[in-house]
Amino acid sequence: MTDTTAPAAGEILTDVHQGVGRIRLNRPKALNALTTPMVAAVDDTLAAWEGSALRAVVLSSTSAKAFCAGGDMRAIRQNVLAGDAEASERFFATEYRLNARIAEYPVPVVALVDGICMGGGLGLSVHGGYRVVTENTVLAMPETALGFFPDIGAGYFLPRLPGALGMYLGLTGHRLDAADALYTGLATHFVPADRVHLVPDALAANPHTPVDTVLKDLGDGSVVPRSRLAAVRPEVDRAFGSPTLAGIKAELRRLDGAWAAGALATLDAVSPRSLEITHALLTAGRDRSLRDCLAADLRLARTTIVQPDFLEGVRAVLVDKDHTPVWQPA
């Protein structure tokens, strides 16, 4: 058993000020990688606040580098190796319950995504109504490189991005900056990093002003560079709009440009099994509710974390960091 069942011990900081609830992730040395107690603490806090007359809830981080690097996959792998996969199942069940609560929360949830936000970090942010990014933001769903799959309801929100962007992001783990996040719709507002800490007080000081207006006012005058994803959007849609993985790869070969070559190299480098799972999950997710997608995630997580590719992928990327995984055949 890992410390994923130990008390959160200050890793989640909460308070309410003038009608604004604040939840701050406070595990900076681990880039706020989520453990079961951390996720449960956030969920319990939101549950306790549901009956309150709050103006909004703001999710943020005490780390200068990250909003949230995702679930603690090293701990999940260690649980499996120790013969305690049940501990990791508890993590995923708790995390997905929190994702649903954020999506259905009765007051606006505002995520301040300043820095790295990957995997489970998107689960804390994307399901809320407002996702604020800064010039430091890096978003990604890198699970296929870990022998896993984009979970936390990604089967719901990725297929609903414009064109084939969601399939591209889910299969390749492509990293987005603030401009890309705004272009795809994964982010709703831009506020400079030196002003993003002002959001909770600004919301509290303007209780009758729409949240959207408060956030726009804080970002007023900010210049966001053009999205690099926008420049390759026709190629993304042409290749990743193909109905099969084989078709996606064939289109990338036909495109024969720098972007296509890079995307093809990424697909060839990640877990073949993860690609199959992800493609099927995102295809099915187009016709599923968020709750149904999260239920599918839990079923898949139970089986995926005990597979050789997951153990090997996490080893290569997060444990030994040699980035030379040896995958099993698809």
Residue 79 dihedral angles phi and psi, to the nearest 5°: -60, -45
Integer CA distances (angstroms), 265 to 176, 259, 260, 280, 325, in order: 18, 10, 9, 21, 15
> Which letter, b or e, does each residue of 148-187 get, where b requires 16 or more Cβ atoms within 10 Å of its Cβ?
bbbbbbbbbbbbebeebbbbbbbbbbbebbbbbbbbbebb
Structure tokens at 268: 């060839």
Round to whole Å and give the CA distance between 151 and 312: 19
Active site amino acids: 71, 120, 143, 151
By DSSP bridging, strand 116-118 and strand 109-113 are: unpaired
Residue showing tokens 């016709």: 287
Between β-strands 116-118 and 66-68, what pairing exists: parallel, antiparallel or unpaired?
Answer: parallel
Question: Mapping DSSP to helix (H, G, I), strand (E, B) and coil, where does residue 103 land?
Answer: helix
Partners of 130 in beta bridges: 110
Residue found by looking up tokens 């997580």 in the block: 301
Confirm if 245 and 253 have CB atoms less than 8 A apart.
no
* Parallel, antiparallel or unpaired: strands 20-25 and 12-17: antiparallel
Rounded distance between C-alpha atoms, residue 167 and residue 221, angstroms: 33
